[in-house]
A = this chain, B = another copy of it.
Amino acid sequence: MAFDKFHDECGVVGVYNHPEAANLAYLALHALQHRGQESAGIVSSDGELLHKMGGMGLVVDVFPDEVLAKLPGRMAIGHNRYSTSGGSLAVNIQPFMVSYGLGQMALAHNGQLVNAGYIRDNLEAFGSIFQSKSDTEVIIHLIAQALDESFTTRVVHALRQVRGGYALVLMNEDTLVAVRDPWGLRPLVMGEVDGAVVFASETCALDLIAATFTREVAPGEMVVVNGERIDSSFPFPVESSYSCIFELLYFARPDSDIFGVNVNEVRNAFGRQLAREAPVVADLVVPVPDSGVPSAFGYSWESGIPLQPALVRNHYIGRTFIEPSQHIRNFGVRLKLNPVRRAIAGKRVVLIDDSIVRGTTSRKIVKMVRDAGAAEVHMRVSSPPTTNPCFYGVDTPTREELIASTNSPEQIRRHLGADSLAYLSHAGMLEAAAAAGIGFCTACFDGHYPVAPEMTRRVQLELFHP
């Protein structure tokens, strides 16, 4: 998949009871930057008032030095938003912060609801207004309209009405709440540092702020932190676990532990399994950076074929890079990757990538490796063919754009120009991830959606908010 940025989603963090809560949130967002580069925001509470800062861009650019000064208090939540093509508005920057019947509240959301359109239609019909195109605004309305006495009861009330993927951190003036959807689709972990409680999408955020990992928030669990108390409850009917396998395959950072496993280790296992399922006689295993690296190691170890990082990544590519001219040949992939010719020349190369989405980039990479002198180029993908879009928070293209939805592996092989192509089997993928001991959502590979998507409405919404 390499640089096709189709699978971004979001990162969230929450900090309770730390004198530098906003600073910790800031650092955690920095560690979660890979989950979203479009915008970043933090809301803190000083016990009486909430304070918000945020902006478009990377965490390091959005927040000036004196973050703490403008975001006082011992409690904070933060959010990184994924990158979309155009139409980005400041109004979409999370966490959302509003005032409502009980005071103020703020909310940061990773995931996507399948019935947001339906609820939104209803809310609008009864007089609600919406300022963003975010699902998250639906949740806020439901909380505000729950009319229960307490913030946390309202949250339960609201979330009982929504279906889909969510890892949420919410707060009002004095309480921090972390919730994970009953299917466990999106990850959320819990940690501790200096007596403060911390929630984050991945453990790499805990590492950066030197917090120790306590445990995962369980599917369907709501953790409420207030004063000395940390209360756990399961207010929603918990279904079978359907954690997102794509987090393990591609999205999470390899140094994170989520869903009970280390991401790097599982990716190694994907690679080993792939080597067993789809061996090839070759001289060199070359990972497509960066996401293909761990499974490439697994493939190399299992196959005995030596690995070389023979595609060098240019670290200075920013999102603002514009190809300077149409007259010059397309530089797309070369701006980001360059082969080590002497390592590749004359070799039979096994390229390992984590997935193929549209095939455009993979095709260029195969050509680049062949142009560098490879005798043969064999493509091995450490996941099954991606045939279906995600409706729970991973920003995939439409079914039509997914090359594997309408092409056989052999057709794809020809399109890529590879000498051979093999995907990891569905069963092999699950076996390699079995250490997690949980069930996975594999809808993007098999179309089995654990929560039925609202197809029609989704299309309407897209028309409505282009």
Q: Which residues of A contact B (CB under 8 A)?
A: 19-20, 23-24, 26-27, 30-31, 33-34, 37, 49, 52, 58-61, 63, 65, 67-68, 89-91, 96-101, 124-131, 140-141, 144-147, 204, 207-210, 253-255, 257, 262, 264-265, 290, 293-294, 297, 301, 306-310, 312, 314-318, 320-322, 324-325, 327-329, 331, 334-335, 338-343, 464-466
Contacts and interface: CB of A to CB of B under 8 A. Distances in A.
A124 B96 contact: no
A240 to B, nearest CB: 26
Contacts of A255: 312, 338-341
Contacts of A67: 324
Determine how many copies of this chain the complex contains: 4
A329 B24 CA distance: 11
Contact of A314 (B33, B97, B130): B33
Given A101-B124, A124-B144, A141-B129, A341 B262 contact: yes
Contacts of A24: 328
A32 B308 CA distance: 22
Given A31-B338, A466-B49, A96 B325 contact: no
Given A19-B327, A100-B124, A257-B341, 9 more contacts: A26-B324, A61-B318, A65-B322, A68-B324, A100-B127, A100-B128, A131-B131, A209-B328, A210-B329
B145 A325 contact: no
A342 B100 contact: no
A265 B20 CA distance: 47
A128 to B, nearest CB: 6
Q: Nearest 9 pairs between A and B by C-beta? A: A127-B145, A262-B342, A98-B129, A33-B316, A255-B312, A101-B124, A129-B144, A23-B324, A255-B340
A204 B336 CA distance: 12
Nearest to A316: B33
A317 B231 CA distance: 36
B264 A334 contact: no
Contacts of A124: 99-101, 144
15 contacts: A49-B466, A59-B316, A60-B318, A63-B324, A98-B129, A100-B130, A127-B147, A129-B144, A204-B338, A208-B335, A255-B340, A264-B310, A264-B342, A293-B309, A315-B315
A301 B306 contact: yes
A331 B27 contact: yes
Contacts of A98: 129-131
Nearest to A320: B60
B316 A30 contact: yes
A34 B316 contact: yes
Contacts of A309: 293-294, 297
Contacts of A324: 20, 23, 26-27, 63, 65, 67-68
A96 B144 CA distance: 20
Nearest to A22: B324
A325 B20 contact: yes
Contacts of A253: 312, 338
Contact of A308 (B131, B297, B317, B335): B297
Given A127-B141, A327-B20, A331-B208, A317 B100 contact: no
A334 B144 contact: no
Given A207-B334, A320-B60, A23 B325 contact: yes
Contacts of A262: 340-343
A442 to B, nearest CB: 24
Contacts of A209: 328
Contacts of A58: 316, 318
B207 A30 contact: no
A163 to B, nearest CB: 21
Contacts of A341: 255, 257, 262
A33 B314 CA distance: 9
